[in-house]
Amino acid sequence: MQSSILLIVFLPLAAAIIAGLFGGAIGKTPAKVLTTGALFVSCALSWPIFLGFLGGTAEAQVVTVLQWITSGDLAFDWALRVDTLTAVMLVVITSVSALVHLYSWGYMDEDPDQQRFFAYLSLFTFAMLMLVTADNLVQMFFGWEGVGLASYLLIGFWYKKPSANAAAIKAFVVNRVGDLGFMLGIFGTFLVFGTVSIPEILDMAPAMSGSSITFMGMRLMTMDILCILLFIGAMGKSAQLGLHTWLPDAMEGPTPVSALIHAATMVTAGVFMVCRLSPMFETAPVALTFVTVIGGMTALFAATIGTTQWDIKRVIAYSTCSQLGYMFFAAGVGAYGVAMFHLFTHAFFKALLFLGAGAVIHAMHHEQDMRYYGALRKHIPITFWAMMAGTLAITGVGVLGVFGFAGFYSKDAILEAAFARGTSAATFAFWAGAVAALLTSFYSWRLMFLTFWGKPRWADSEHIQHAVHHGHDEPDEHNPAAQEDSGEAVAHHVPSTHEDDGTAGYHPHEAPWVMLVPLIVLSIGAVFAGFVYYEPFVDSEEFWGGSIFFNYDLVHAIHGVPLWVKLTATGAMLLGLLTAWYAYIRNPKVPQEAAHQLGPIYRFFLNKWYFDELYNFLFVKPAFWFGRVFWKQLDIGVIDRFGPDGAAWVVKQGAAGAKRFQSGMLNTYALIMLLGVVAAITWVLL
């Protein structure tokens, strides 16, 4: 296992360095082969480790890479921890990343900067692997910031596109806000425990239960403060309510980036961190309540927004935000295994949905607005069935006691855990999750109906008009990739040529096989992952082997909840499905009428609860105002005036004054010297 884990972690780094620094020299294809091959090797090595823990044949171990830092009482090595929790994350990260690399061969085929793109993907994967294998908090923070940096590079990959640059900056800044809390949590943890070693901290944590510490002039519970600060970091990284605003805008990056960042890696880092430190959080009841409430609110909040969005990628993005809320309130009620189970299943069906959306965008000539789709299921059948599998998984379709898709098992387990916990916060999370499940079903089936059923609405799309007028399959020089999803912010103004059938004469095409194979593989996970892995993730303390806190009493209570609780998610799914069918298939006039009737509520959801506007008013505009004031008043008015500019003025005026005495006349200089001698003698005599 020692050699395997080293290869798993460092192969993506080596590939990223070679492709990034020498990609121009070796060419596009070798760079893609190198990075993709490295990820498939890492994936192939990760699954035996996971299956070893699943079968009970593997044991947790720590592989030391090198001695990192020793400074006073602070000392830690660069060490890779491999236990069950790590193994779960390894297969999630490497599997999705490998498939995203392969998918990108087709999706990014026409991009001139492919070497740079694949280098960024591999660098991102390495940083995430560093995070999940961390044996101490500093190493975890190293990976934490690494994925932040790599996400900035990937989101802003199309740097010629102003919206992509703005989204990258937004993601970077918002995550730094959360990371400030994470840093304070790490500092406080070291102050309290005298170490950053995760195993040592978790061993000592129970003894700190009930202790207090002075924080901001107040005497507060030590573990609650530490865990809340750590969770603030998770809120930023995992886009929880308040620090979520970066995630939808991150869709400005290429679609494979969305699948990698928002399905399996960066956004799940916060959930992983809470589960890794679960024995520590168990000593902080106030912090767990905070996690539960924030998770429940996020699940509900993001789901409401997803019902009103038209961009296919943004709908899935808000779905990600909502599903992360589920994971957090599962952890908040103490069901850490259930939270990781949903993280595991979610990785497959959410990556599938993102990559499927990319295949739809590819088929529709870069069009992302679902209002310009319709009737695509017969034109792109493989993509249709792949997205159908993902939709069945995320909405939780299944028959109790028989079979269900991935989300049926993991989402139901979360709701059952929240109900079984029985606290007021857990009860709130249960009902918030139930309503979110209904809304999830509605907007997921809404996406499917608008995209694959109904009548074609392609003729109204400027992207489709561009394809029709300029040729979809013409060479690049005649049909440049200057579309919404390809790095150039352009607008096409082509006169509409409405065809009777709404197609404008356009013929959608299926994605190449290099993009379809990842969809097929991920579909298998979306269908079977829940059914196969429910028992070890949810019920087996032996499987987790002490890598997380396992609440046996809560797990037992999950299986004893009333039947109506077990059927809640299924009922919500059916109600959402029927509502979406009636509104978008049976009577398409309903959505417009409902939007008109709901008025302010609809606009509230459509404008994402006005969080962007609120933050712009509270933070962005004051920051710019302070910037201008400090620039004009302090920088120019004070520093420049009395600093370099002032010094220059003094020198200039001094030179002008001295010039008056530089007449060049010998008698003048003699007189001045004589006066100086007289003045000196006078001063001495006096």
| 68-82 per-position pLDDT tens digit | 878 777 778 889 999
Residue 156: closest CA among 145, 143, 165:
165
Residue 133: closest CA among 202, 63, 76:
63
pLDDT digits (tens, 9 = 90+) for 623-680: 778 778 777 777 777 777 676 767 777 777 777 776 666 666 777 777 778 888 888 8
CB atoms within 10 A of CB 403: 14
pLDDT digits (tens, 9 = 90+) for 75-124: 788 899 999 999 999 999 999 999 999 999 998 888 888 999 999 999 99
> Cα separation of 90 and 556, whole Å?
28
With 90 as the cut, is the pLDDT of residue 38 above it? yes
The residue among 521 and 158 whose pLDDT is bigger is 521
Residue tagged 């004469």 (tokens):
505
554-571 average pLDDT score: 93
pLDDT mean across residues, the chain: 87
H helical segments located in 108-251: 114-132, 137-155, 162-193, 198-204, 222-237, 246-249
Rounded to the nearest angstrom, the gap between the alpha carbon of residue 673 and the centroid of all alpha carbons in its chain is 78
> Cα separation of 659 and 505, whole Å?
84
414-432 average pLDDT score: 95
> Cα separation of 593 and 215, whole Å?
53
Share of the chain above pLDDT 70, in %: 93
187-194 average pLDDT score: 91
Name, in order, each residue with C-beta under 8 angstroms of 574's C-beta and a sequence gap of 6 or more: 441
Residue tagged 């020692």 (tokens):
2
451-460 average pLDDT score: 89
**DSSP code per residue over 105-141:** HHHTTT-TTHHHHHHHHHHHHHHHHHHHTBSBHHHHH
> Element (H or E) spanning 30, and its range?
helix 28-55
With 50 as the cut, is the pLDDT of residue 492 above it? no
> Cα separation of 426 and 292, whole Å?
7
The residue among 484 and 539 whose pLDDT is bigger is 539
What pLDDT is attached to residue 163? 85
603-610 average pLDDT score: 88
What pLDDT is attached to residue 327? 95
510-516 average pLDDT score: 91
Give the pLDDT band of residue 500 (cuts 50, 70, 90). low
53-79 average pLDDT score: 85
Q: Which residues pair with 70 in a beta bridge?
A: 75
Least confident window among 234-243, 404-413, 495-504, 628-637: 495-504
Give the pLDDT band of residue 469 (cuts 50, 70, 90). confident
Residue 238: closest CA among 166, 163, 302:
302
Return the structure tokens found at 556: 């037992």
What pLDDT is attached to residue 109? 86
